[in-house]
Structure 1
Amino acid sequence: MLFKSKEENLYRLGDIAYKIHNVVLSVRLDSILDLKKIALRSKNTEFNSKRFHGLIMRSRDPKATAIVFKSGSMICTGAKSEKDGKEAILKFVKIIRNAGFTDLKMQNYRITNIFATMDYKVPINLMQIHIAFPRITKHEPEVHRGLLYYPFDTKLLVTIYASGKITITGAKSMSILERVRNNLTNMILQMRIRNNDSDKLISY
């Protein structure tokens, strides 16, 4: 479906893609680590126990940062995709092994958060969406300029702005992002079809 706005611009709502800004992953390394030893033997690492109890490791390609704790817990952040996150973790693990911890085993690998955005590039009537979906949305314009949307009975948080921009926080898989995009598109399509006096529906 295509919609024609007041500015005569065409938008293919069903083809809107989300942009991933950050994928956070965690993994447990089955070993107690000497963080100072790893820092001394490795490049692109930072460790200052007086400031912070974790070892910071950085990767340029793929771009990502890991925080490693003495217990063996690792949190990887800054990746732009799950694939990049996995590659970065494998790279960090290899560096730690080369520092003398050769018996490392990775356990409990998982995505803990995906932050993504979308832009429908059409104005959205937030109050109308809230009235139509009161159980899964929250709209307090005097407190926050966006509408909060809570899909699937999860901890996922979606913020919808009147400009058409969307932020998605808390997704734990790519499939969840796909579901959010499909649900949002259907929701916005419903609202815009109802308001086709200002946005004329064009079939093709």
Structure 2
Amino acid sequence: MRPQVHNVVAGVNLNCRLDLKHIALSVRNASYRPKRFPAVVVRQREPRSTALIFRSGKMQIVGTKSVDDARLAGRKFARMLQKLGYQPRFEDFTVQNMVANVDTRMTIHLEGLMLTPGTHNYEPELFPGAAFRMVDPLVTFLVFHSGKVVLLKAKNEEDMHEAWDKFYPLLMQFRKE
């Protein structure tokens, strides 16, 4: 049982100033509401992704299922801007967050898990999951009573799998029979 990546958030610097109104009016699947959010939101189908394009030339790519897809989506969005007459340069591509989940197929005793040493938070009146923060590698786990686990904040898949390999034995100690 391995975590399955469901969302990659990446950033890239296009190194050019952009006219967001022009982009919103020229591109399909684009929306721009400057009073609500200071970026143009553009969606594409392949790879399925959303770009948040800011006036400064910074761009966030969200919704892809792999780092390679995020990079490809970013390049496609940059190409789209190039066709509009801008001269983007694809620089400083960085993965900012990866989200994955896994179903352990066992019930977890969350109260017991929260008694272990470490950085964690469990407020069942506010949120049904327990947040458990690992420092090395830097990954946060949201653990639910049902045995479902969401992994957040990983920068790459290796960190995610390393964190899971460290965390899973601890989780096994608190499974309900």
Number of the residue aligned with 2:90: 106
Deviation at 1:191, TM superposition (A): 4.7
Change (3 A) 1:134 1:85: same
Equivalent residue letter for 1:34:
D
Q: Secondary structure at the match of 1:150?
A: strand
Of 69, 72, 77, the match for 2:54: 69
Number of the residue aligned with 2:157: 174
- State the TM-score, normalizing by the size of structure 2: 0.86
**Alpha-carbon contact 2:16-2:88 (below 8 Å) kept:** yes
Q: Secondary structure at the match of 2:2?
A: coil
Equivalent residue letter for 1:91:
K
Root mean square deviation of aligned Cα: 2.3
Larger Rg: 1
Number of the residue aligned with 1:86: 71
Number of the residue aligned with 1:59: 44
Q: For 2:174 and 2:162, how far apart are their aligned partners in 1? A: 19
**Alpha-carbon contact 2:137-2:159 (below 8 Å) kept:** no
Q: For 1:129 and 1:46, how far apart are their aligned partners in 2? A: 44
Equivalent residue letter for 1:130:
M
Cα deviations across residues 71-102 of structure 1 (Å, max 9, x unaligned)? 1010111112212111111110000011111x
After superposition, residues 97-176 of structure 1 pair within 5 angstroms as 97-101=82-86, 103-131=87-115, 133-152=116-135, 156-176=139-159
Cα deviations across residues 104-133 of structure 1 (Å, max 9, x unaligned)? 2122211111121111001222233333x2
Structure 1 gap ranges (5+):
1-15, 199-204
Equivalent residue letter for 1:162:
H
Give percent identity, aligned residues only. Answer: 29
Q: Secondary structure at the match of 1:134?
A: coil
Change (3 A) 1:165 1:104: same
Q: Secondary structure at the match of 1:31?
A: coil
- State the TM-score, normalizing by the size of structure 1: 0.76
Report whether the alignment pairs 1:46 with 2:31.
Answer: yes
Structure 2 gap ranges (5+):
none
